[in-house]
Chain A
Amino acid sequence: NAGVTQTPKFQVLKTGQSMTLQCAQDMNHEYMSWYRQDPGMGLRLIHYSVGAGITDQGEVPNGYNVSRSTTEDFPLRLLSAAPSQTSVYFCASSYSSRNTEAFFGQGTRLTVV
């Protein structure tokens, strides 16, 4: 039972490079989301999706892009990496967005130099 799988676990990028953080879940959850975790800031929502083909912006969407072509996958794209995007990124999924438990991946630690 894999749950939520994120890849890679660690990544170093140069400023201006692009990359995709992968997220996959095997629980048939409709709702998926991406958060970033920064020291002293808690977790902040980047983008979310309530189902395949439907995405929306969260609190801090600038510099990130998402798509949801299948129920299982929800990749996060950094279009042109900046040092301010150095963070730990978490993907989460849940059966629905309301009242139910969110399952988190183990995170991707990204450093932009």
Chain B
Amino acid sequence: GDSVTQMEGPVTLSEEAFLTINCTYTATGYPSLFWYVQYPGEGLQLLLKATKADDKGSNKGFEATYRKETTSFHLEKGSVQVSDSAVYFCALINQAGTALIFGKGTTLSVSS
């Protein structure tokens, strides 16, 4: 079945460091891909998405490119801030269109 694998955390960075969180997926066809972010004590919110191969989603300085050749959707940011500390989830829509399938989440901690 459909699945998402993302790198284990926690990821600890200093402010202004470069961030990469790896995400790969297994799915039938070419599902829409998402990154969601969860700040402490809150629900998830959409960070960015891509709906077809080679699409680049971007928001708040974060970017991810839909790579069908490597079935990947890695999240990147050139210069992280303390306020980026959160849990990041990679996700896809299953083939039936009935569910978001999430990775296990990666905790990012940024220190000043």
Which A residues contact B (CB, under 8 angstroms)? Answer: 4, 33, 35, 40-45, 48, 50, 56, 58-59, 90, 92, 96-99, 101-107
Contact = CB atoms under 8 A, between A and B. Distances in A.
Contacts of B51: 99
Given A59-B99, A98-B97, 7 more contacts: A4-B43, A42-B104, A48-B99, A98-B32, A102-B36, A102-B100, A105-B43
B46 A101 contact: yes
A33 B99 CA distance: 8
Contacts, number: 57
30 contacts: A33-B100, A35-B102, A41-B104, A42-B4, A42-B105, A43-B44, A43-B89, A43-B100, A43-B102, A44-B102, A45-B99, A48-B98, A48-B99, A58-B99, A59-B99, A90-B43, A90-B44, A92-B44, A96-B97, A97-B93, A97-B98, A97-B99, A98-B93, A98-B97, A99-B49, A102-B44, A102-B46, A102-B100, A104-B45, A107-B42
B43 A106 contact: yes
A99 B66 CA distance: 14
Size category of the B interface is 20 to 34
A80 B36 CA distance: 32
Contacts of B41: 106
